[in-house]
Structure 1
Amino acid sequence: MSDKFFKVNKAPETYSNEQCHSVIRREPWRRSSFLVGSIKIIGRLSWGAPEPTWSNEVIYYNFSRTSLINTLTNIVVHHTNNSNSVSDNEKKQKTKGYAALGYHFFINADGSVYEGRPLEIMGSHAGRGKQAGALNDPDWGSVGIVLQGDFHHDDDWFKSNTAAKKQLNALENLILGLNRKYNIGQLLMHREVNRGGPATVCPGSYLAPLVINLRDKLGMKGKR
């Protein structure tokens, strides 16, 4: 295991190393609710999320050595490309081999914000790295935020031409809270992430200019 992270593919209590034990815990997955700035986050415990599928592997940041404020470097905005709930989106991703929902935060159409995976855990949302290894993965240090809806005009059977004002307000306030708490200065759209694999239109042609405007408003950096 690296001194910067721990790969976990079995139940946390099976890890006996003292340093691992201070980091590899179930507790981050069992939050009821908490605040990020002014935004109330509905924790996994409150929305009835099951335990992660540990055998599908998650990566714990070694926050006992490097704090999250020195680990989290950017925020990546996505859309779900469907109108399904946070629970249904997690179930779908688990069938594809994810341990849990890949995004850290899920913003419902009504503006409510759900915890997908704890910030102490590396996300699975930004894409595949061009080189092997967690430190080369675009998810390293990236906070994933997904908005419920399909915001691409040229999509197939389902699309959202507008994002609800409450949903956009929640996005702005969540980003502002993360920026202030963790000093995160870079805001990206999924399609801007430097990664391997096929290109993506995420978060869609409608949402993209809104994210760009928000980035300018908050004085955050974009694609490097």
Structure 2
Amino acid sequence: MRKITKIIVHCTATKAGREVTVAEIDGWHRARGFRCIGYHYLVNLKGEVFAGRPEAEIGAHCLGQNAESIGVVYAGGLAADGTPADTRTPQQETALRELISDLRKRFPSATVHSHYEFAAKACPCFDAGEEYVEM
């Protein structure tokens, strides 16, 4: 297994209420020239967690940070008018908390970050480092 120093949280930049699948993201990423989906986990609107790229493989989700990170994405991140917004459902909030907690137990030296810390984006539209600081 590779060394994991960061868990980076993302949003799919889709409007609130729009479901997204691993297969759909895989298609988006392949269209951009990626080998496959760049995230390691997707949390859908119902709070179900789906595996994307295997953890043992370097992700393709955060330029300059992929080698030692795990990428987690939730479906959403845009309000109905298309502006950035924290659109997590209660089920997503619970599932993200459980997923991040599990990842922190398995990678205790890893810190939690929002994608916007490394890119000029609003993603994931909330402060993941602050929200998950106690984990």
Query: Structure 1 residues 213 and 88 mapped into 2: Cα distance closer, same or farther (>3 Å)?
Result: same
State the SS of the aligned residue for 2:9.
Answer: strand
Matched, 1:191 2:108: no
Query: How far apart, in 1, do the equivalents of 2:8 and 2:68 lie?
Result: 10
Quote how far apart the aligned CAs of 1:89 are: 1.4
Query: How far apart, in 1, do the equivalents of 2:107 and 2:6 lie?
Result: 10
Q: After superposition, where does 1:195-206 map in structure 2 within 5 Å?
A: 199-204=120-125
Matched, 1:173 2:98: yes
- In structure 1, the gaps of 5 or more residues are 1-62, 128-136, 219-224
- What does residue 31 of structure 2 align with? 95
State the SS of the aligned residue for 1:216.
Answer: coil
Length, aligned pairs only: 131
Query: How far apart, in 1, do the equivalents of 2:70 and 2:34 lie?
Result: 17
Q: After superposition, where does 1:60-71 map in structure 2 within 5 Å?
A: 63=1, 68=2, 71=3
- What does residue 214 of structure 1 align with? 131
The question of whether the paired residues in 2 share the 8 Å contact of 1:75 and 1:184 is answered with: no
Query: How far apart, in 1, do the equivalents of 2:96 and 2:76 lie?
Result: 13
1:125 aligned to which of 53, 58, 61: 61
Cα RMSD (Å): 2.1
Structure whose CA Rg is larger: 1
Q: After superposition, where does 1:13-162 map in structure 2 within 5 Å?
A: 63=1, 68=2, 71-82=3-14, 83=18, 84-127=20-63, 137-151=64-78, 157=82, 162=87
Quote how far apart the aligned CAs of 1:92 are: 1.4
State the TM-score, normalizing by the size of structure 2: 0.85
Query: Structure 1 residues 161 and 190 mapped into 2: Cα distance closer, same or farther (>3 Å)?
Result: closer
Query: How far apart, in 1, do the equivalents of 2:130 and 2:94 lie?
Result: 13
Query: How far apart, in 2, do the equivalents of 1:184 and 1:170 lie?
Result: 21
Query: How far apart, in 1, do the equivalents of 2:110 and 2:11 lie?
Result: 21
State the TM-score, normalizing by the size of structure 1: 0.53
After TM superposition, the runs of 4+ consecutive aligned structure 1 residues lying more than 4 A away are: 158-161
Equivalent residue letter for 1:176: S
Percent sequence identity is 27
Query: How far apart, in 2, do the equivalents of 1:161 and 1:124 lie?
Result: 23
The question of whether the paired residues in 2 share the 8 Å contact of 1:74 and 1:141 is answered with: yes
